[in-house]
Amino acid sequence: MKRTRFITALVGIGILLASATVAAAGNAQAGSAKSMFCSGCHGVDGNVAYLSVRMAGQSTQRLGQSLMDFKTGRRFHPVMNILSVGLTQQDMDDLAMFYA
């Protein structure tokens, strides 16, 4: 009986973790729609348009963490700190998925 409950609990935890991962994933199409302000410096597809960082091809984790670091002030850039303040976690996930 205890073993059955334990296995059931493990399966339940696995399902919860899997669904949380799926829910946190970004949407590239939504990211494309949100990238209007980004494209002025980073280019339409994430390749440098003007003396800025190339975002195309970077990992979603790195892009998402960079946006969060700008939002929280952990990293400093006068433009990025201002633009990232209004981003939600979903916005950051979507943008990261679009540029990755």
pLDDT the model gives residue 6: 38
pLDDT the model gives residue 25: 85
Query: Measured at the alpha carbon of residue 97, what is the angle toward residues 96 and 100, in degrees to the nearest 5?
Result: 80
Could you read off the pLDDT of 4-48 as tens digits, one per residue? 543 443 334 444 444 444 445 899 999 999 999 999 889 889 988
Q: What is the band of 49 on the pLDDT scale with cuts at 50, 70, 90?
A: low
Of 2-16, 23-37, 66-80, 81-95, give the lowest mean pLDDT range.
2-16
* CATH numbers and ranges of domains, the chain: 27-99 (1.10.760.10)
Alpha helices in 25-87 (DSSP H): 28-34, 36-42, 60-72, 78-84
